[in-house]
Structure 1
């Protein structure tokens, strides 16, 4: 059994003071008062591993420069799966020990199983298959005359069949599109994606098979459809305004705001086409106006970044959390809840991760400072060590 003693602990919801954390394999055995000098590790604190509810990890994982749009469609699946595993492990080393890939496929599902079985060390990986339409956001990452593309669904029956396909492949959730997107080629942010009949069928079938539905939207219409049709989470949430707050709070619908990536595209921090930059600027302006006051109103924002290792890197989640605290006028502790215990609940692992308590998985971060008291401490450079599934995957635990 492993143990770290005499350190400040934040358990995913509140501070528990100076104590000790014991774990055996991938299970926390005890969180209890410390037997060590309270000042022994006074400069350090422990928080649960982070949970990012919205990532895309199928991109190139190496150091050379590649074209982000063509690499995924010209790289063989067997090769791509190795990059997926490498990206996931990079994320875990930065303390993001649970990831939900929104719009994954059999490649991510295979890597997830390899991690779960301990064949390779890696974080907890959940994968949602996408159900989108021809010429929708999920389809427009492929040039129109390229012969190979991801499956689409253009009728209620096709939607139902594609949900069943993803369930059979091992998906843990479904992603749908209720508007256009920023990076898809020739797309318009305000385009409606799919009919109500198609959307309702997808949600019905996913729920019948025990899979939550995450809804991408950059429009007010998309937000209203999401609320009316019973999706399980809203991704991006552009179009949310004060008229939606009461419904969002009453239905307890989580929203992953993906602040950083759209800011980066809009302000040119990362280089994209002029079309993408203009769309991002439109999205950011509408999003920022609608988000003012939403945090205070109780809208359930959770950590979701769109990280893919290139535009938003694994580790940028720390900056995203600080941005969330500022944007939603949250305390540091409220921001950490959104990135740990509440995010874990959103991805269906609320009884397994995101909390430091006996019986939970052994995922945690040792950091310099007290990020639950001062959100400025929530920085990559303050990471001392990361434990994922009970093993140290970054740094060294303090003695």
Structure 2
């Protein structure tokens, strides 16, 4: 098995004359297209989009060919539905962020974005930053795909005074202020709105088992965001926050840990309600030491068993267990909780793209989709660890590694 003869660099394949090739072909022994496995396959690319998919794996003539090898599987670039590029995955991410000025923080976010991209993550939903810096970085990576993934930025998460995430600057009180906060995020070009519906153990004085906003306040945010065409992600560990956010009409339940409930019967009712609602659950299954881990994973097992609509995010940056290149390990965690290999792969490709509202062009390989690819050794459907054996990454038709 050999890699393509041209140098690995942030450039498209080159013709013999040395000019960038607007059209080229990728050949691999296998392809997971976001839904099914097939192979061999040849994928034709024109600039930043997939032109055609040839499932016979024939060798084309007249265009540059990148033969990735018979033992390589081509996948859509991975979609991380939950990350914080502003956090450094160090021992004190919040303190480190607070100590950085905007210029230094943005420089650090660029490094985080490149780290994710080199792991095969070509789309990131950044669910909370400081000073709308992720929006600035999103513009930079859109102009130069070699800098990082496509970024969907939420801006500072909307939270209560002293509530979880308040160090990011989104403290908001009262219906009028909540509407204004949503409008500000829309005016600044954010792709979504994040609201902190419950506390979190990582914020001193915050209780992950209790709600931060009323159901009416959550509905105010959801209604205004939807009026402006923005989806709403609700950070919800507490069972009561999950139920309130669901009733308010949010688009995704972040974490959905089901903490602080009112007994087994009530929890089963709420689990079934979430699973039957069709609302996306943004799972963060990486196991870390703590008093809640077993309960969270039990809830995830139940949601998977009940057929809930879910994708998986890394929550990258928030702890040392969640570095910015950790998403390829998440499907293994999902499989340990009862997801099939197919469900686990879809949770970081087609289902993740659907959660982000990008299902027509991300998380899949078909004509018209973005030319975002991850090439790995082996068959990820029979061994999810293959996602960590990266052979090549392409973003918007540009080979990154």
Q: TM-score, normalised by structure 1?
A: 0.85
Q: Does 1:390 align with 2:397?
A: yes
Q: Does 1:200 align with 2:200?
A: no
CA offsets 1:35-58 (integer angstroms, 9 cap, x no match) = 159x99321111111101000001
TM superposition shift of 1:24: 2.2
1:138 equivalent among 159, 165, 179: 165
| In structure 1, C-alpha distance between the alignment counterparts of 2:68 and 2:314, rounded to whole Å | 36
Q: Does 1:344 align with 2:353?
A: yes
Aligned counterpart, 1:373:
382
| In structure 2, C-alpha distance between the alignment counterparts of 1:160 and 1:203, rounded to whole Å | 9
SS of match in other structure, 2:312: coil
Aligned counterpart, 2:314:
305
Question: For residues 84-123 of structure 1, what are the structure 2 equivalents within 5 Å?
Answer: 84-104=109-129, 105-118=131-144, 121-123=147-149
Aligned counterpart, 1:30:
52
| In structure 1, C-alpha distance between the alignment counterparts of 2:384 and 2:305, rounded to whole Å | 18
TM superposition shift of 1:59: 2.8
Aligned counterpart, 1:272:
none
Question: For residues 127-276 of structure 1, what are the structure 2 equivalents within 5 Å?
Answer: 127-129=153-155, 130-139=157-166, 142=167, 150-239=169-258, 241-260=267-286, 263-264=287-288, 266=289
Tell me, yes or no, if the aligned pair for 2:218 and 2:245 is still in contact at 8 Å: no
| In structure 2, C-alpha distance between the alignment counterparts of 1:40 and 1:88, rounded to whole Å | 25
Q: Does 1:76 align with 2:98?
A: no
Q: Does 1:293 align with 2:293?
A: no
User: CA separation of 1:285/1:332 partners in 2, compared to 1, >3 Å: closer, same or farther?
Assistant: closer
- The list of structure 1 runs, each at least 4 consecutive aligned residues, that deviate by more than 3 angstroms after superposition, is none
| In structure 2, C-alpha distance between the alignment counterparts of 1:219 and 1:66, rounded to whole Å | 25
Q: Which moves more between the two structures, 101-110 or 292-301?
A: 292-301
Q: TM-score, normalised by structure 2?
A: 0.85
User: CA separation of 1:88/1:119 partners in 2, compared to 1, >3 Å: closer, same or farther?
Assistant: closer
Tell me, yes or no, if the aligned pair for 1:81 and 1:111 is still in contact at 8 Å: yes
Question: For residues 328-339 of structure 1, what are the structure 2 equivalents within 5 Å?
Answer: 329-339=338-348
User: CA separation of 1:3/1:284 partners in 2, compared to 1, >3 Å: closer, same or farther?
Assistant: same
TM superposition shift of 1:173: 0.6
SS of match in other structure, 2:40: strand
| In structure 2, C-alpha distance between the alignment counterparts of 1:302 and 1:13, rounded to whole Å | 14
TM superposition shift of 1:67: 4.3
User: CA separation of 1:180/1:315 partners in 2, compared to 1, >3 Å: closer, same or farther?
Assistant: same
Residue-pair matches, total: 362
TM superposition shift of 1:307: 0.6
Aligned counterpart, 1:323:
333
SS of match in other structure, 1:109: helix
| In structure 2, C-alpha distance between the alignment counterparts of 1:345 and 1:13, rounded to whole Å | 12
TM superposition shift of 1:89: 1.3
TM superposition shift of 1:100: 0.4
CA offsets 1:46-90 (integer angstroms, 9 cap, x no match) = 1111101000001349xxx78422221221112211211221111
1:12 equivalent among 31, 34, 41: 34
SS of match in other structure, 2:298: helix
Tell me, yes or no, if the aligned pair for 1:7 and 1:18 is still in contact at 8 Å: yes
User: CA separation of 1:5/1:317 partners in 2, compared to 1, >3 Å: closer, same or farther?
Assistant: same
| In structure 1, C-alpha distance between the alignment counterparts of 2:114 and 2:386, rounded to whole Å | 23
Superposed CA RMSD: 2.2
Q: Does 1:48 align with 2:76?
A: yes
TM superposition shift of 1:120: 6.2
| In structure 2, C-alpha distance between the alignment counterparts of 1:185 and 1:247, rounded to whole Å | 31
